[in-house]
Chain A
């Protein structure tokens, strides 16, 4: 099974969220950053008259690739191998970590440089390498900030989005021993550049992820903004790319769609400043050795389920995080996973068993903002509901769950909704039962048990003494006159 997700805890989303909501600095940083990216994204998406057609095409390409994933992966392996690359298959995190460590050790390397790869965060690669005496250096500016700050990523495109400039300066001052460092963006960039340049030139092994694998020619594609990726892809002797099996697309020309939708959705750019696409190895040009590790780690079981398969269409643009009103409030750490936000709420529970992510499918108001911006049209609310269904099923399979307040409440409500007589009875019981909670002002200000969540910040208008259906019955009996009054009384089943 997968390696322990040690630096993510097991606490529930509401618990973690409560703690993060108390951190006004994080909330301010997250809100500011997501607002800026959202605005840029909306601007560059708005200028494309065929945006909806691009989404449709992107969705179709990804869905098709997933339906024939076995064939396309083997086609990719064949073509990548033919071009001089080596393809490894990793069933889970432990196996991937083992393969990568062995490759690094076979070159007697003690350090590696890394391009931002969330897949490596998923398998806990850095911790595994450190435990085995190998030092990984993150080269993406945000990942470097996270690494130097002994922190966790809170976003998978902008991992340090929860830190502001002053906080970044403090981390650099402390960790890079630069007490005089200023806080202008150019100061911070210059410090990172000076720190990293030397490593690009000296370290001989690089680890990356990938945005896309192209089946028809065995090409690997990475898009980035800083140029650190290009350095890692071209300077070292050995390049190891760790890639989730779902990242394959059939043809090179599919990139025509993906390289339009991904940058616009991810960073609000029309095109990424650096677009690297390479096949295998080439004499005298770039790495002499190239490995691709195809990682499953819980992906195949997702494929088997028609309802949830669309989760794997994701191209990791994070537009759904930037659009999500829940993420806006909590930032990424509340999701206790390298994949936070709406996509994380459906991906994490499926990748690492429902047990760990039981509360994640409920971490959404189902407002639909995520689906609206998704460049490959993943209907996230639909998958959230599907996963909620699984949580409930799991609950109902135990006696404790069956007798839980939620299940009993829902069964009772379901029974009441089954017919008008029972429903009317429930309404009248509610009108009576509320009496002990209604304040003098006619509002409910305190509710017991789980309902107290509502009244912690909100009042509730008391149920009026006459329901609509009672009013209607009264109106009908008045209209039909005394002769028909007995028929006009309200319903029965």
Chain B
């Protein structure tokens, strides 16, 4: 398959290793990856913060960039949920029927990374080795919007050497919520404190997720507390063939 990578704005800027890992995994499975340089952002930050009309041109830009793509993949459930839950609404709000049609035509070809592997490609074993204790943070958008269910777990279970440790209250939000983490920094920090406590309780070496946004938040606290626990996007674990954690 020819797969177009939507890296997402924050992964591009902050977590290039995740993008490289996605490329490695998909190429290892025999697919051709393309990267459209015109891409920028899905518009989520603006939309979720209430800058609704400012989000529309960003959405339009996304649709223009990928209009003719065979398949699009993004290593972020929250960006995909932005598209699935809000793009049509945004088009409607802007009174742009053409955009609504374009969105409807494009979105069935847009996948979150683990969803693409398991649902579309029917692959669970991607040939990874990662001999470490890992716990999975189930991000809100992956469970409540994309309904990924056990997809990330199935992928992790096939990784050689990986020991997956269960976490308490997996359904509870880490408190990131985009600009929520700044606008309500105190509540967000209190939520994070609970999440980090449950992560530390697992005794895992690595906390993973399908979203770097949550992981950036969780690691922000893990690092502030100078703990030993690292975070790694699931793509980085699936790309690993036995080297360093």
A residues near B (Cβ < 8 Å) are 13-14, 17-18, 21, 325-326, 328-330, 359, 361-369, 371-372, 382, 385, 387-392, 406, 410-411, 413-414, 416-420, 423, 427, 430, 443, 445, 450-451, 453-454, 456-461, 463-464, 466-473, 490-491, 493
B residues near A (Cβ < 8 Å) are 7, 9, 11-16, 19-20, 35, 37-41, 43, 45-52, 54-55, 57-58, 61, 85-86, 89, 140-141, 144-145, 171-173, 175-193, 216-217, 219-221, 223-224
19 more A-B residue pairs beyond the given contacts A423-B41, A463-B13, with a C-beta to C-beta distance below 8 A: A17-B187, A21-B187, A325-B175, A359-B183, A364-B180, A367-B173, A385-B86, A414-B46, A417-B9, A419-B38, A423-B40, A453-B181, A458-B220, A458-B221, A460-B220, A463-B14, A467-B16, A469-B7, A472-B35
Question: How many Å from the CB of A63 to the closest CB on chain B?
Answer: 18
Residues of A within 8 A of B19 (CB): 468, 471-472
Q: Which residue of A lies closest to B52 (CB)?
A: A389
Residues of A within 8 A of B51 (CB): 389, 392, 410, 414
Inter-chain CA distance A413–B58, complex, in Å, is: 10
Residues of B within 8 A of A467 (CB): 12-13, 16
Most buried by B among A387, A423, A473: A423
Decide if A372 touches B182 in the complex (CB within 8 Å). Answer: no
Inter-chain CA distance A359–B173, complex, in Å, is: 20
Question: How many Å from the CB of B137 to the closest CB on chain A?
Answer: 13
Residues of A within 8 A of B55 (CB): 414
Decide if B54 touches A468 in the complex (CB within 8 Å). Answer: no
Inter-chain CA distance A445–B221, complex, in Å, is: 11
Inter-chain CA distance A463–B15, complex, in Å, is: 8
8 A-B residue pairings within 8 Å (CB atoms) = A365-B181, A417-B40, A423-B41, A456-B185, A458-B220, A463-B13, A466-B16, A491-B38
Inter-chain CA distance A305–B191, complex, in Å, is: 33
Inter-chain CA distance A459–B223, complex, in Å, is: 6
Beyond A371-B144, A414-B54, A427-B12, whether A469 also contacts B37 by CB under 8 A is yes
Question: How many Å from the CB of B215 to the closest CB on chain A?
Answer: 10
Please pick, from A371, A453, A471, the residue contacting B182 in the complex, using a CB distance under 8 A: A453
Most buried by A among B46, B185, B187: B187
Question: How many Å from the CB of A25 to the closest CB on chain B?
Answer: 15
Residues of B within 8 A of A443 (CB): 223
Decide if B12 touches A410 in the complex (CB within 8 Å). Answer: no
Please pick, from A365, A385, A389, the residue contacting B176 in the complex, using a CB distance under 8 A: A365
Decide if A418 touches B13 in the complex (CB within 8 Å). Answer: no
Decide if B38 touches A461 in the complex (CB within 8 Å). Answer: no
Residues of B within 8 A of A385 (CB): 47-48, 50, 52, 86
Residues of B within 8 A of A364 (CB): 177, 180
Inter-chain CA distance A372–B19, complex, in Å, is: 31
Residues of B within 8 A of A473 (CB): 37
Decide if B186 touches A17 in the complex (CB within 8 Å). Answer: yes
Question: How many Å from the CB of B206 to the closest CB on chain A?
Answer: 15
Residues of B within 8 A of A328 (CB): 191
Decide if A414 touches B57 in the complex (CB within 8 Å). Answer: yes
Q: Which residue of A lies closest to B180 (CB)?
A: A365
